[in-house]
Amino acid sequence: MRKHNFSPGPGILPVSVLKQASEAVLDYKGSGMGLIEMSHRSTDFIEIMEEARQRVKQLFNLGDDYEVLFLQGGASLQFTMIPYNLLDENETAAYLETGQWAKGAIKEARLFGNVDVVASSAENGFKNIPKDFVVPGNAKYFHITTNNTIYGTEMFEFPKTDVPLIADMSSDIFSRPVDGNQFSLIYAGAQKNMGPSGTTMVVVKKDILGKVKRKIPSMLNYAIHIEKESMYNTPATFAIYVCLLTLRWIEELGGLAEMEKINIAKSSLLYQEIDNNPLFYGYTVPEDRSRMNVTFMLHNQDLEKEFVQLCKERNISGIKGHRTLGGFRASLYNALPMESVEALVGAMQEFAKIKG
Ligand code: PMP
């Protein structure tokens, strides 16, 4: 029996995707070879890469002025690559500080140039997304984190700025329709809503490149990865294939509008229980509640272990909060079925009956 898997990432993937992926490990499309034994220069793999890139472009409504890359080094390496490629030493980049991952991006950018943190919700324990801020017109770019995986806040409206907008979408990529044309660069580690760890999707608008004075090492240079079509070095072939299967699955399900409907239904059900259950409360301010990572606490922290134990008995896994925050975090990524949310809600109600 499969677990109700609320893991924050690597996270749950659709069963149909796992089945196809495991078949491909043994024998890719009757070729007599497993996909992970196959050259990345083979026609089979080049087709996979091309379809994956094409699907990403379609989902974001992007034209030829954008390129899609599948790189390695995680979303964390993008914290470095972005300023390396876009920010000269005497220039300024604007960042919105909405959580640990945003802080990580800011820390790296400071190695390359000036960083203007236009707003931060740090003082508030990152319970909300700052709304009032001004992005200086001379900033080279403005970096946001659309979903804050640890604290459980999400941006549903994106700032309108005159400077290129860059988004870390690692934990809410393809959870709803988003017009990619608002952004000059989007990146996401695959391991939450797309596939296994090992590859990071980067969407980049070509006109932002080639403007810094510094020399950029090849492996960190977007222009080189674009020129070599994500094959400057050996790409993470299997991880990219699983991403492709997930992208196909999204289309089969009805696309991003349908995905969003399901995600609203799942998260609403859980937040409703958090608000109604006398034992629990939500961590973040209601208007910025994430649909992907739902953070909640017990009024009486001494009961945490007991609740985790009850969840375990109900086949529920992965709901322990991040070590910096404590409490609970239920990650409701695209592939998590409604029944899993119902199981968690059921466990919370059962717990309230026992303890109430
Ligand atoms: N950004 C966000 C929003 C994340 O949630 C994570 C990982 N949880 C990262 C960046 C770092 O990703 P990676 O581990 O792929 O470097």
Q: What is the pLDDT of residues 187-209, one digit of tens each?
A: 999 999 999 999 999 999 999 99
Name the DSSP class of 72: S
Q: What is the pLDDT of residues 307-328, one digit of tens each?
A: 999 999 999 999 999 999 999 9
Q: pLDDT at residue 356 above 90?
A: no
Q: What is the pLDDT of residue 293?
A: 98
**What is the rounded average pLDDT for all residues in the chain?**
97
| Residue 320 bridge partners (DSSP) | 328
Q: What is the pLDDT of residue 49?
A: 98
Q: Could you give the angle at the alpha carbon of 290 between the alpha carbons of 17 and 57, nearest 5°?
A: 50
Task: Report whether residue 152 contacts ligand 1, using a CB cutoff of 6 Å.
Answer: no
What beta strand segments (E) does the chain contain? 4-5, 66-71, 92-97, 114-120, 142-145, 147-148, 153-154, 165-168, 185-189, 200-205, 280-282, 293-298, 316-317, 328-331
Tell me yes or no: is domain 255-355 CATH 3.40.50.1000: no
**Is residue 192 annotated as a catalytic residue, yes or no?**
yes
CATH 3.90.1150.10 in the chain, residue ranges: 255-355
**Is residue 249 annotated as a catalytic residue, yes or no?**
no
Q: What is the pLDDT of residue 34?
A: 98
Whole-number Å distance between alpha carbons of 237 and 6: 26
CA of 354 from ligand 1 middle (Å) equals 37
- Please give the model's pTM, rounded to 2 decimal places: 0.98
Tell me yes or no: is domain 15-253 CATH 2.40.40.20: no
CA of 74 from ligand 1 middle (Å) equals 7
Best of 71, 100, 101, 293 to mutate for ligand 1, by most ligand atoms within 8 A of CB?
Answer: 101
3-state class of 245 per DSSP? helix
Q: What is the pLDDT of residues 93-130, one digit of tens each?
A: 999 999 999 999 999 999 999 999 999 999 999 999 99
Question: Choosing from 140, 172, 192, 266, which is the catalytic residue?
Answer: 192
The four Cα atoms 203, 290, 197, 343 give a dihedral, to 10 degrees, of -140
Q: What is the pLDDT of residues 209-264, one digit of tens each?
A: 999 999 999 999 999 999 999 999 999 999 999 999 999 999 999 999 999 999 99
Task: Report whether residue 9 contacts ligand 1, using a CB cutoff of 6 Å.
Answer: yes
- DSSP H or E stretch at residue 86: helix 74-86
Helix axes 237-253, 256-276, angle to 10 degrees: 80
Task: Report whether residue 98 contacts ligand 1, using a CB cutoff of 6 Å.
Answer: no
CATH 3.40.640.10 in the chain, residue ranges: 15-253
Q: What is the pLDDT of residues 267-291, one digit of tens each?
A: 999 999 999 999 999 999 999 999 9
Task: Report whether residue 321 contacts ligand 1, using a CB cutoff of 6 Å.
Answer: no
Task: Report whether residue 73 contacts ligand 1, using a CB cutoff of 6 Å.
Answer: no
Q: What is the pLDDT of residue 140?
A: 98
**Is residue 228 annotated as a catalytic residue, yes or no?**
no
Q: What is the pLDDT of residues 42-79, one digit of tens each?
A: 999 999 999 999 999 999 999 999 999 999 999 999 99
